[in-house]
Amino acid sequence: MLKLLFLFLFVCLLIIAYQDFKYKSVSWLLFPVLLIISFFISVLQIKFNRLFISFFYNFSFITLQLIILTIYFSLKKKRFVSIINNFLGLGDVLFLIAVAFLFLPVNFILFNITGFFFTLLIFSFALFGKSTHYRIPLAGTLSFLLNVLIVLKVLFNLDFLLNESIFFQLINRL
């Protein structure tokens, strides 16, 4: 059952990546589907109370990021700035909320930082010298990165989602 859910998750993430890269938008129906699949994958792997505590921390981290970004851009522009639809797409925020069930808090923060850095790195080079109003497919890039993590989990049993000690195990091997 779990492998089937991971297959559905993989396909859903592929569709999100495709739509975001091609159209710079994602069908809103994919986000509830992603949320439901993420929830059931997590329910099958960790205890229910730990799942909701982890989701609460992850959701709080997303909210904190949005508040800090809103304050930063509002101070910079000297007026209130809504970052959703001005700097981040609503789909990007919905994506992060939907996948928040898949991660323990430490892993979610690492996924978030790594994914944002990866996106920034790729599109800094890709957009060098182009318009500053280009829409970066953040949800698509994060979907691609999450699919890499899913492949590592399913094929190699490297769980970067719900195993908080995996990073420490890898560091100790180096």
Whole-number pLDDT of residue 34:
98
Whole-number pLDDT of residue 117:
95
Whole-number pLDDT of residue 125:
76
Please name the amino acid found at residue 44: L
Give the integer Cα–Cα distance in Å for 121 and 112: 14
Mean pLDDT by 10 residues, the chain (174 residues): 94 97 94 98 93 96 96 94 88 97 93 94 74 79 96 85 70 62
Q: Do residues 169 and 161 lie in contact, with contact meaning Cβ atoms separated by under 8 Å?
A: no
Q: Do residues 129 and 76 lie in contact, with contact meaning Cβ atoms separated by under 8 Å?
A: no
Whole-number pLDDT of residue 105:
93
| Buried/exposed code over 11-26 (b: 16+ C-beta within 10 A; e: otherwise) | ebbebbbebbeeeeeb
